């Protein structure tokens, strides 16, 4: 999947925001100083990560993102008093003796001051405590990993939503193509296969209807009419009923925004992972994945070096690509998230 990002432009946005910090970062001297200092550390960490290899890159990238979390908290209008001050990571990784995709990740409880928990709450993104989430599940939440699986399992991956296809005339239905539906669903072709697949995507599962093929046999149920891609997978035009009835294009777009998550200027339906109550914010999916990789690199260096060896690991190229893309995708996500929480 090609995602258009401009890291240099994102760094310019972040640097330009420091003289007049957004949101509550402008409210007190301490928040203002933290905002500026945290972003300076973030940028320096990322610049350092760009000149090292994968043996140490997850350390610089994760701690750069962690410092960005402090800038996000400082700017967040939802955090008053001293709530913006973050302590501890708020997230834990274990199971480093397991295969790489099976590394386990848990978070601290809701309401605690750990960085992951507090930033998640600002972004209406879930945390989980008792039941661990596997690294592979979090890996697959990231849109850039669509073509880089860790195993051959049936994956719940992001579904791209195409806002530009919203019809300009007033209408009672929001209708858009839902993209990147996997081959296994399309090959089956049945309504049941689609319904089973969409259980991981509650917002899509609440649709009113979708485009169907014409039934060939009298009395037969019409089946989803997919448009296939040459490179695999496909899309389906899905319809949602607008709560207020007939609505403008702007109102239908706003409704779509409530059902999707942002990623580098695009919108996605993301899967809801067990045991979570809703989908992760993409920035927090990045945070969880990079935390696990940084802990593995830091505390199990021999295992990490094996995992990134193209001679010894099936995951090495996927890991290399993820860490390369982190340097370009994350500045954009950080800048967009600061705008999101400070508005």
SS3 category, 342: helix
Per-residue pLDDT at 66: 98
Q: pTM of the entire structure?
A: 0.95
pLDDT of 217 reads: 56
Q: Distance between the two ends of the chain, CA-based, in angstroms?
A: 30
Span 147-156, mean pLDDT?
94
Q: Using CB atoms within 10 A of its CB, is residue 86 exposed (0-12), middle (13-18) or buried (19+)? A: buried
pLDDT over 70 percentage in the chain? 98
Closest CA to 159 of 243, 268, 57, 78: 268
Instruction: Report, as an integer, the average pLDDT of 186-190.
Output: 96
Q: Identify the sign of the CA torsion 169, 174, 178, 184.
A: negative
* Beta strand extents in the chain (DSSP E only): 91-94, 104-107, 133-134, 159-161, 173-181, 209-210, 227-228, 234-241, 261-263, 266-269
Positive or negative: CA dihedral 13, 15, 39, 58: positive
Residue ranges in 115-240 assigned as alpha helix (H): 115-122, 135-139, 183-188, 191-197, 202-205
Mean pLDDT for the stretch of residues 213-234: 82
Give the tens place of pLDDT for each residue, 228-260. Answer: 999 999 999 999 999 999 999 999 999 999 999
* Token reading at 234: 């496909």
Tokens standing for residue 209: 């209807």
Q: In the chain, pLDDT over 90 holds for what percent of residues? A: 93
* DSSP codes, 14-79: HHHTTSS--GGGGTSHHHHHHHHHHHHHHHHHHHHHTTS-TTTHHHHHHHHHHHHHHHHHHH-TT-
Helix 7-16 × helix 29-49 angle, to 10°? 160
Across 166-177, average pLDDT = 96
Residue 146 has pLDDT above 80, yes or no: yes
CA neighbor of 342 nearest in space, from 5, 13, 2: 13
User: Would you state the pLDDT for residue 219?
Assistant: 53
Do residues 311 and 45 touch, judged by C-beta distance below 8 A? Answer: no
pLDDT band at 216 (very low <50, low <70, confident <90, very high): low
User: How large is the average pLDDT for residues 100-105?
Assistant: 98
Confidence class for position 220, pLDDT limits 50, 70, 90:
low
What CA–CA distance (Å, rounded) separates 41 from 35?
Answer: 10
pLDDT range class, residue 199, cuts 50, 70, 90: very high
User: What rounded mean pLDDT belongs to the chain?
Assistant: 95
Read off the pLDDT band of 1 (50, 70, 90): low
- pLDDT at residue 4, as a whole number: 83
**Beta partners for 177?**
237
């Amino acid at each position: 999947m090609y995602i258009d990002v401009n890291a240099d432009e994102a760094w310019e946005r972040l640097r330009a925001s420091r003289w007049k910090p957004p949101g509550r970062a402008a409210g007190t001297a301490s928040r203002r100083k933290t905002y500026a200092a945290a972003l300076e550390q973030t940028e320096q960490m990322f610049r350092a990560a760009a000149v090292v290899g994968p043996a140490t890159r997850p350390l610089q990238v994760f701690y750069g993102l962690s410092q960005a979390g402090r800038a996000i908290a400082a700017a967040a209008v939802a955090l008053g008093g001293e709530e913006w001050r973050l302590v501890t990571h708020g997230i834990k990784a274990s199971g480093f003796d397991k295969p790489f995709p099976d590394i386990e990740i848990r978070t601290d409880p809701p309401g605690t001051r750990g960085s992951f928990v507090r930033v998640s709450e600002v972004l209406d993104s879930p945390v989980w405590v008792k039941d661990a989430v596997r690294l592979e599940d979090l890996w697959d939440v990231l849109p850039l990993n669509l073509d880089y699986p860790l195993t051959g399992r049936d994956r719940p991956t992001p579904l791209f939503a195409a806002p530009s296809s919203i019809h300009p005339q007033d209408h009672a239905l929001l209708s858009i193509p839902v993209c990147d539906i996997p081959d296994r669903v399309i090959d089956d072709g049945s309504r049941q296969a689609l319904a089973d697949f969409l259980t991981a995507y509650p917002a899509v599962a609440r649709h009113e209807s979708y485009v169907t093929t014409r039934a060939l046999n009298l009395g037969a149920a019409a089946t989803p009419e997919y448009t296939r891609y040459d490179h695999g997978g496909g899309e389906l035009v899905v319809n949602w009923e607008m709560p207020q009835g007939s609505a403008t294009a702007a109102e239908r777009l706003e409704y779509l925004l409530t059902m999707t998550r942002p990623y580098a200027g695009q919108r996605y339906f993301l899967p809801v992972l067990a045991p979570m109550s809703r989908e992760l914010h993409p920035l927090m999916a990045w945070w969880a994945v990079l935390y696990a990789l940084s802990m593995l690199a830091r505390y199990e260096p021999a295992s990490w070096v094996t995992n990134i060896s193209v001679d010894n690991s099936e995951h090495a190229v996927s890991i290399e690509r993820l860490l390369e893309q982190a340097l370009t995708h994350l500045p954009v996500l950080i800048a967009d998230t600061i705008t999101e929480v400070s508005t």
